[in-house]
A = this chain, B = another copy of it.
Amino acid sequence: MKNRIRVLRAEKKWTQEDLADAIGVSRQTINAIEKEKFDPSLPTAFRIAGLFERTIEEVFQFEESDA
């Protein structure tokens, strides 16, 4: 699973912590998702997409090689 969080976050000039606080997860979680260490849960994905006013598909790109 790829994602465009880092780019979208930069556009808004938000820190990882800003984003984390806005959606109610830890800063480490945002860092891990951005660095693609693991995939977010579906609710977390919805919250991230919602905050950026994008669809999930615009933020996350599924690849068949995903777990």
Which A positions have Cβ atoms within 8 angstroms of B?
1, 39-43, 45-47, 50, 55-57, 60, 62, 66-67
Q: How many copies does the complex hold?
A: 2
Contact A43 B57 (CB under 8 A): no
Q: Smallest CB–CB gap between A62 and chain B, Å?
A: 4
A28 to B1, CA, bound (A): 25
Please give 9 more A-B residue pairs, beta carbons under 8 A apart, in addition to A39-B41, A42-B42.
A1-B46, A40-B42, A43-B67, A46-B60, A46-B62, A47-B62, A55-B56, A55-B57, A56-B57
Contact A42 B60 (CB under 8 A): yes
A55 to B45, CA, bound (A): 14
